[in-house]
């Protein structure tokens, strides 16, 4: 059978997270591994009411095929929200509803990447993006991100030798590291790409989940003609409907529509109508505040526990929002080896390797705080601290 598989799929890294989630099914294991939003905040009752109302209003039309662009009232809602929350002028005609923002990544790869084309990628970066783009067999041009965003000296070195067609960024509360790009960093990145034949992707599923610090400028504001925005209802409403969107300039949108039609004709009309009804009848900002208050508290609890239980030589990010933080082990200790020890201590996380397109045995790890309460965080981080100390002792 192996000889039948297309080269494009053989090159794609398997999702390590799926393997880890199998381990995490054991209830005695504390998991900081999953990247899931907390189900406690899924508005199940409200969505049930919205479903009934949508049926009462539209009947069987809810169940019919629909337009590839997506449900116009939902696109209008998204456009209005860009104006209200970020002061961005986005026309509903520039918005394509996708089956999760993950599909936006695939469509962009399909439309823009020939084999061997340059793709500027954050390192570490979202592994689902590495996976989605790998199908199109680009040349990954990795640029490190630090606490302020892309490392500009490294970006300059890469751009001196490469001409990427696509640049992929998660500038707000990045998955996996939790870091955000500063305004100065965004301006510096935009300056480097302005006027070049390159599309910048601002993937922003976590932007609404800010629990500290102040808002920053969108790349769409800095580089309007070259930026594609990706958005998602997964983190602020529910992920199960698979509803996201992208915002793209007209010429690109025409090609994306062809790719969308070829892929799945359109995203579920049914779920679009339900979410639109939900958004009409509920205060989404109040809902987001509830999520943000919880995640902010959990993030602070995790940092406080790390201060107590981790050796001082372990470094970690201090996110202003989102669902993740990122730790770096001392002396090149392997996070994959730590994972083995941590499973023995009944705690799991995601080792850094899958977040790089080109690295093994990294010393970094992702910890998710979205689905764990303060007491669990305390116990889990204490166990992880113990595992780290054991490894450090074994090394010395």
272 lines the binding site for ligand PMP (CB under 6 A): no
Residue 209: C-alpha distances to residues 21, 202, 230, 289, 319 (Å): 24, 16, 15, 8, 11
Closest separation between CB of residue 122 and ligand PMP, Å? 10
Task: Please report, as residue ranges, which positions from 13 to 72 form the binding site for ligand PMP (by CB under 6 A).
Answer: 35
DSSP H helical ranges for the chain: 7-10, 16-23, 44-58, 72-86, 101-112, 127-134, 152-161, 183-193, 219-222, 250-264, 269-281, 284-309, 335-344, 374-395
Q: Between 128 and 385, whose beta carbon lies closer to ligand PMP?
A: 128
Whether the Cβ atoms of residue 49 and residue 281 lie closer than 8 Å to each other: yes
Tokens of 130: 């590495």
177 lines the binding site for ligand PMP (CB under 6 A): no
Closest separation between CB of residue 74 and ligand PMP, Å? 14
Q: Between 232 and 345, whose beta carbon lies closer to ligand PMP?
A: 232
202 lines the binding site for ligand PMP (CB under 6 A): no
Tokens of 223: 């580089």
First CA to last CA across the chain, in angstroms?
Answer: 47
Task: Please report, as residue ranges, which positions from 320 to 379 form the binding site for ligand PMP (by CB under 6 A).
Answer: none
Q: Between 244 and 321, whose beta carbon lies closer to ligand PMP?
A: 244
Which of 149, 205, 296, 351: binder of ligand PMP (CB under 6 A)?
A: 205
Q: Which residue is nearest to ligand PMP (CB)?
A: 100
Q: Between 185 and 232, whose beta carbon lies closer to ligand PMP?
A: 232
Q: Between 172 and 362, whose beta carbon lies closer to ligand PMP?
A: 172
Q: How far apart are CA 325 and CA 347, in angstroms?
A: 16
Which of 32, 71, 82, 126: binder of ligand PMP (CB under 6 A)?
A: 126
Residue 382: C-alpha distances to residues 23, 258, 306, 307, 313 (Å): 19, 52, 8, 10, 16
Closest separation between CB of residue 207 and ligand PMP, Å? 11
Q: How far apart are CA 370 and CA 28, in angstroms?
A: 18
Q: Between 97 and 329, whose beta carbon lies closer to ligand PMP?
A: 97
Tokens of 192: 């480097």
Whether the Cβ atoms of residue 364 and residue 328 lie closer than 8 Å to each other: yes
Closest separation between CB of residue 373 and ligand PMP, Å? 21
Q: Between 108 and 303, whose beta carbon lies closer to ligand PMP?
A: 108
Task: Please report, as residue ranges, which positions from 63 to 102 form the binding site for ligand PMP (by CB under 6 A).
Answer: 100-102
Tokens of 23: 């381990």
Q: Between 236 and 377, whose beta carbon lies closer to ligand PMP?
A: 236
Binding track, positions 206-245, relative to ligand PMP; x by CB under 6 A: --------------------------x-x----x----x-
Q: How many CB atoms lie within 10 A of CB 375?
A: 9
Binding site for ligand PMP (CB under 6 A): 35, 100-102, 126, 128, 170, 175, 203, 205, 232, 234, 239, 244
């Amino acid at each position: 059978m192996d000889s039948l598989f297309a080269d494009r799929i053989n090159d794609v890294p398997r999702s390590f997270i799926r393997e880890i989630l199998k381990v995490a099914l054991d209830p005695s294991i504390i998991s900081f591994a999953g990247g899931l939003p907390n189900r406690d905040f899924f508005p199940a009752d409200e969505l049930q009411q919205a479903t009934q109302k949508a049926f009462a209003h539209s009947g069987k039309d809810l169940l019919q095929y629909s337009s590839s662009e997506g449900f116009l009232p939902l696109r209008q809602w998204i456009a209005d929200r860009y104006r209200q929350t970020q002061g961005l002028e986005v026309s509903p005609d520039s918005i394509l509803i996708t089956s999760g923002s993950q599909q936006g990544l695939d469509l962009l790869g399909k439309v823009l990447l020939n084999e061997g084309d340059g793709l500027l990628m954050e390192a570490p970066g979202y592994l689902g993006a590495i996976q989605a783009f790998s199908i199109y067999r680009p040349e990954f041009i990795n640029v490190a991100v630090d606490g302020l965003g892309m490392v500009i000296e490294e970006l300059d070195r890469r751009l001196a030798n490469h001409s990427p067609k696509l640049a992929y960024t998660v500038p707000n509360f990045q998955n996996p590291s939790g870091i955000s790009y500063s305004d100065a960093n965004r301006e510096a990145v935009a300056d480097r790409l302005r006027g070049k034949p390159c599309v910048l992707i601002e993937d922003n599923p976590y932007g609404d989940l800010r629990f500290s610090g102040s808002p920053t400028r969108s790349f769409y504001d800095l580089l309007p003609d070259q930026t594609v925005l990706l958005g998602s209802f997964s983190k602020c409403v529910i992920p199960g409907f698979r509803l996201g969107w992208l915002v793209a300039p007209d010429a690109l949108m025409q090609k994306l529509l062809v790719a969308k039609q070829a892929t799945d004709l359109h995203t579920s009309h049914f779920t679009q109508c339900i979410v639109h009804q939900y958004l009409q009848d509920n205060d989404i900002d109040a809902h987001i505040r509830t999520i943000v208050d919880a995640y902010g508290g959990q993030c602070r609890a995790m940092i406080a526990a790390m201060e107590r239980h981790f050796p001082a030589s372990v470094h970690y990010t201090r996110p202003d929002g989102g669902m993740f933080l990122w730790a770096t082990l001392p002396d090149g200790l392997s996070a994959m080896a730590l994972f083995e020890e941590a499973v023995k201590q009944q705690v799991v996380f995601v080792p850094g390797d899958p977040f790089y397109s080109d690295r093994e045995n990294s010393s970094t790890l992702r910890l998710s705080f979205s689905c764990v309460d303060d007491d669990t965080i305390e116990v889990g981080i204490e166990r992880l601290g113990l595992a780290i100390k054991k490894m450090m002792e074994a090394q010395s």
